[in-house]
Amino acid sequence: MVQTMAFITIPRPLSLLASSTKDSWSSASVHCSYSKKSSRFSTNSKGLNRDCKTIFWNVGSFRRQYLSQLTAMLMTFKDDGRDGSEAKYDPESFSKLLFQVPISEMKFLSKLAFLCNIAYVILKIEGIYLRRYYGLYLIASSLETKTEATSSTKAKLEEFGSEKAMGFERKHHRIHSPKDQLLSMAAHQSFHSSPFEWIICDDPIRHTRIFVIQGPDSLTSWWRVLFFHPTKFEGKLDVFVHRGMYEAAKVIYEKVIPHVVDFLQTHGEQARFQFTGHSLGGSIAVLVSLMLLIRNVVRCSMVEPVVTFGSPFVLCGGRKLLDELKLDDAQIYNVIMHRDIVPRGFSCNIPGFHISVLKLFKRSLHSHTCLNENKFMYSPLGNLLILQPNAKSSPGHPLLPPGTAFYALDTTGYKDTSNAAINGFLNSPHPLQTLFDPKAYGDDGTVSLNHDSSSYLKAINGVLRLHITATIVPKLREKKSLL
């Protein structure tokens, strides 16, 4: 008899689930098995003798009530007072912290945004174009590495392919073979491989090797987000990291470390390394750069500031780590579109009710410092650069002055209120408010338009064009008047 086991846990906070039954349950664990032969459920419960069908019916009837109550709570944002009132910030006081990004820095950020954009179409990258317009040389990509790995796997498979030549007789009842074992091993390795692509470019003038990490481009890469529970980062006792991003970063680290060592051997003390990425790729870029420093592969002076575009924060206790490495916020620059929900995902305030629900599914969150003290999953780290595109592309932000602009959030003279300012920006609008809008979804939805890598490139170039025009046009008019 084939049995399928299921484990149902009914925790204390969801006491409404128990109220739909005759008894009041505070906590119950029920083991249920289903027999295909008899098509009936059987149960072996601890302190309960109930038919599993009854339990499943109760769960189903409760689900409708639970979802309706949850929706109402999300729409009104009513909470128990633990939603972080410090997040409130008015536009007038917030504008005092904003400064225009200089044109020189804007041009550099435009180049990195372009690299992040073409990282999604690696096969279409033309080295001649990069050299002609950006002075960059394409060195390697993840697709080349995967091609070499595939060729190596095929060669090994061919060794086991000809069973007759090896003197073996093919038998149908034989289940395990060297080929099967090799395929099984390859499948296991693919699970631990990173779905994020990357490219490496060299800037010979600056003696800099640039590592560009692509954001999620498939369900496999977005699947990493689900492993959001914290784990220790590089063995640090008080620094925790998003587990899914950390696992992906470790895989990419092993892939790019030979290119780091090779560049060090070639350029010595002049070698510099630049990491950048869009979306989750930017989060991984931050982790990989920190791993290089923690593992003493390179010195801090050799690593240029990491630049991320629309990337979520994935570290809790990152400030302590920067202090330990004798670095400041200038080591990380986070470019955030004014209404992009992805950078806000793990750093917006989580209502107390949702915190209780999260802790039900992930026991490790019970001791998570950021969640318990600050009511968010991971804390912002580094400098914030806020990008507001044309109003035709996306409506303005409530805390920002109207009009197209590229701001740097400078909280140097406002240390006491800096966290409140950052928290206020990340919570207005709250990601849940954006997700409740029907216009948020689809290729043309607000979520996609405010997060797409091409939107970042277009917005930066739009602001850059306005500044250049404002600078050049007066000079041309002055020359004409002199003539």
pLDDT by residue for the chain (483 residues), tens only, comes to: 333 333 333 333 333 333 333 333 333 333 343 343 443 333 343 433 344 334 333 444 444 444 444 444 444 444 444 444 344 678 888 988 999 999 999 999 999 999 999 999 999 999 999 999 999 999 999 988 766 555 554 444 455 444 444 443 333 333 334 434 433 443 344 435 667 999 999 999 999 999 999 998 877 777 777 788 899 999 987 899 999 999 999 999 999 999 999 999 999 999 999 999 999 999 999 999 999 999 999 999 999 999 999 999 999 999 999 999 999 999 999 999 999 999 999 999 988 878 888 888 777 788 888 988 888 999 999 999 999 999 888 899 999 999 999 999 987 777 667 888 899 999 988 998 888 888 888 888 889 999 999 999 999 999 999 988 888 777 777 777 776
Rounded Cα distance, 233 and 239, in Å: 6
Which letter does DSSP use for residue 396 in this model?
P
Instruction: Classify 43 in phi/psi space as left (phi over 0), alpha (psi -120 to 50) or beta.
Output: beta
Phi, psi of 441 (to 5 degrees): -105, 160
**Per-residue buried b or exposed e for 337-364, using 16+ beta carbons within 10 Å of the residue's own CB:** bbbbbbbbbbbbbbbebbbeebbeeeee
Sort strands 315-316 and 240-242 into parallel, antiparallel or unpaired: antiparallel
Q: Can you tell me the distance from the alpha carbon of 347 to that of 366, in angstroms, rounded to the nearest whole number?
A: 17
Which residues are the active-site residues? Answer: 279, 340, 451
Single-letter code of the amino acid located at 387: L
Using one digit for the tens of pLDDT, what is the confidence trace for 244-290?
Answer: 999 999 999 999 999 999 999 999 999 999 999 999 999 999 999 99
Q: Which domains are present in the chain? A: 3-60 (no CATH), 85-137+203-474 (3.40.50.1820)
Q: What are the distances in angstroms from CA 95 to CA 92, 384, 417, 478?
A: 5, 14, 13, 33
Nearest to 385 by CA among 91, 89, 97: 97
pLDDT single digits (tens) 434-449: 888 888 888 888 899 9
201: three-class secondary structure by DSSP: strand
Report the alpha-carbon distance of residue 5 to residue 348 in Å, rounded: 37
The closest of 328, 449, 324, 447 to 381, measured between CA atoms, is 328
Q: Look up tokens 């074992």; give the residue.
A: 181
Cα–Cα distance for residue pair 9/254, rounded to 1 Å: 39
Nearest of 122, 77, 5 to residue 427 by alpha carbon = 77
Distances 432 to 224, 335, 358 between C-alpha atoms, Å: 21, 21, 16
Q: What is the DSSP letter of 122?
A: G
